[in-house]
Amino acid sequence: MEEEENDKLDHYVEIGAVEVAGISEDGQFIYAITPLAKDLAPELWEAHSRHVDESLMSLYNLGLVNVSYDEDLIATIELTDEGREAAKEFGIIQMDTGDIPND
């Protein structure tokens, strides 16, 4: 099973749907889904989008996310410090910049 997952990851990297985003403190590669995945690997993009949505809802339910809306009902999501740490663990923000990946 692990070999099959590695083959999939290699394929996604090769087609540009996934890129190496950095290296963790323990020396493991950190991968990021690129916007190209939306067209090149829609099944990966859908799984990624679901994961981000579910993770944000979990953080919100734990009181670690604040959501506010402007006059055009555009949402602004703010993480508490604890929420930022949890989001890093969920893999939904980059460890070095703290940005939430684009959908």
**Is 42 within the bounds of a domain?**
yes
| Whole-number pLDDT of residue 94 | 67
- The upper half-sphere exposure of residue 30, i.e. CA atoms within 13 Å in the direction of its Cβ, equals 16
Please state the domain count of the chain.
1
Identify whether 66 is part of a domain: yes
Which of the residues in the chain have pLDDT under 50?
A: 97-99
Distance between CA atoms of residues 100 and 38, nearest Å:
16
CB neighbours of residue 85 within 10 Å: 13
pLDDT of residue 89: 84
Which pTM does this prediction carry? 0.70
What does the pLDDT read at residue 5? 87
The whole-angstrom separation of Cα 45 and Cα 56 is 16
Whether residue 47 is contained in a domain is answered as: yes
Taking only Cα atoms into account, the Rg of the chain, rounded to an integer number of angstroms, comes to 15
Flag whether 96 is in a domain: no
- Domain containing 12 equals 2-90
pLDDT the model gives residue 2: 84
**Does a structural domain hold residue 52?**
yes
Asked, for residue 102, whether it belongs to a domain, the answer is: no
